[in-house]
Amino acid sequence: MTSFKIAPSILSADYANFESELKKLEATGAEYAHIDIMDGHFVPNISFGAGVVASMRPHSKLVFDCHLMVSNPEHHIEEFARAGADIISIHAEATPHIHGALQKIRAAGVKPSVVINPGTPVEAVKNVLNLVDQVLVMTVNPGFGGQAFLPETMDKIRELVVLREVNQLNFDIEVDGGIDDKTIGIAKEAGANVFVAGSYVFKGDVNHQVQTLRDALHD
Ligand code: DX5
Ligand code: ZN
């Protein structure tokens, strides 16, 4: 049986109150806290760094799913591992050393995850699928919350499902960007099982919003 996981993104939370925002998320039964790290270089925005992650760590038991939207992520892995990341996602587009960088994440005792942007084919990560615990298929171009879901990315999820089966691999498939109570079902049907949602979760009562996502998965 596939296990579905909801991963609210704190990019849309109140940055002055991360402790209470995390507590609210934990009370919803969400499995992960998705933490978006942006460097103003790989993506235009700057969000927050490892220091913020380390400060949040003692206040939450949620799985910290750290999505590094940074150039040359291999230079920052130990830092995020020390800060308390449980999963580190790095972009195939962000480094010429994706294979070594994923190995570095595993060696740091963290679950490695590889990310592809909407314009990047599955082919780009085919040779590292055996190294990862998760593949993150971006369903928007990274950098901002609140963008519209790109349905054309669903074919890549279907491709990954086939590759996982044929090669007897074992990784989760995560989607990130434009996930709401409608699009979550589309991503589930394609084969995704981890669902990031930022603006949808924080635009209303967090508990209610997470439950509507959960309900949509079981429709
Ligand atoms: C986008 C980030 C996302 C973002 C999603 O670059 O990687 O995690 O928080 O936001 P929504 O759910 O609003 O599209
Ligand atoms: Zn993200």
- Predicted local distance difference test score (pLDDT) of residue 116: 99
Check if 86 is active-site: no
Burial, 211: exposed, middle or buried (Cβ in 10 Å; 0-12, 13-18, 19+)?
A: middle
Distance CA 158, CA 46 (A): 32
Give yes or no for residue 68 CB within 6 A of ligand 1.
no
Mean pLDDT of the chain: 98
pLDDT in tens, 95-114: 999 999 999 999 999 999 99
- Predicted local distance difference test score (pLDDT) of residue 1: 56
* Mean local confidence (pLDDT), 124-133: 98
First to last CA, the chain: 16
Ligand nearest to the CA of 113: 2
Catalytic residue of the set 36, 39, 65, 180: 36
- E-strand stretches of 70-116: 87-91, 111-116
* Domains in the chain, CATH or no CATH each: 5-218 (3.20.20.70)
- Predicted local distance difference test score (pLDDT) of residue 2: 75
Give yes or no for residue 185 CB within 6 A of ligand 1.
no
pLDDT in tens, 21-40: 999 999 999 999 999 999 99
Please report which confidence band the pLDDT of residue 187 belongs to, taking 50, 70 and 90 as the band edges: very high
- Predicted local distance difference test score (pLDDT) of residue 47: 97
Check if 36 is active-site: yes
pTM value surpassing 0.85:
yes
* Mean local confidence (pLDDT), 63-89: 98
